[in-house]
């Protein structure tokens, strides 16, 4: 199963973690794994511990990881309304309104991502 995940998983992080577990099982030294995988010693130990503790589930990222969204659904709807109101071409006006309304400093890219979702 581990070989199959290493070869076929669509998530590169999972493939890398599976490869690490396979190499550990093949009795590679930690220093060799650091060089092969390009990660720190602590990362390898974390992957190994997660494998021992959770098995296959330990290869995957847990829920809640990563950066949280800046805007809730109501705020996104209001941003879309502002975008339509200002003819889809004035992100600076929208950025200023976000700063005034909610006290959140955002970039042009953040506004564009909010409009895409």
Q: What is the pLDDT along the chain (117 residues), one digit of tens a residue?
A: 999 999 999 999 999 999 999 999 999 999 999 999 999 999 999 999 999 999 999 999 988 878 888 999 999 999 999 888 887 567 888 999 999 999 999 999 998 888 887
Residue 64 lies in a domain: no
Residue 40 lies in a domain: yes
What confidence score (pLDDT) does residue 9 get?
Answer: 95
What confidence score (pLDDT) does residue 89 get?
Answer: 62
Classify 106 as helix, strand or coil. Answer: coil
Residue 101 lies in a domain: yes
What confidence score (pLDDT) does residue 10 get?
Answer: 95
Domain that holds residue 25: 2-59
Residue 66 lies in a domain: no
Residues 109 and 87 reside in one and the same domain:
yes
Residues 55 and 77 reside in one and the same domain:
no
Please state the domain count of the chain.
Answer: 2
Residues 24 and 48 reside in one and the same domain:
yes
18 near 9, Cβ under 8 Å?
Answer: yes
What confidence score (pLDDT) does residue 62 get?
Answer: 87
Cα-flanking dihedrals φ and ψ of residue 83, to 5°?
Answer: -60, -45
Residues 54 and 80 reside in one and the same domain:
no
Which runs of consecutive H residues, i.e. helices, occur in the chain? 2-8, 12-25, 30-37, 41-54, 73-85, 91-102, 108-116
Residue 87 lies in a domain: yes
What confidence score (pLDDT) does residue 88 get?
Answer: 59
Residues 78 and 103 reside in one and the same domain:
yes
């Amino acid at each position: 199963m581990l070989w199959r995940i290493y070869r076929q998983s669509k998530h590169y992080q999972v493939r890398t973690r599976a490869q690490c577990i396979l190499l550990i099982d093949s009795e590679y030294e930690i220093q060799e794994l650091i060089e092969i995988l390009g990660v720190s010693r602590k990362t390898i130990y974390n992957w190994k511990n997660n494998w021992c503790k959770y098995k296959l589930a330990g290869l995957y990222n847990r829920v809640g990881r990563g950066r949280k969204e800046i805007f809730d659904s109501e705020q996104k709807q209001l941003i879309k309304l502002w975008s339509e109101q200002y003819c889809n071409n004035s992100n600076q006006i929208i950025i200023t309104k976000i700063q005034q309304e909610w006290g959140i400093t955002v970039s042009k890219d953040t506004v564009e991502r909010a409009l895409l979702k």
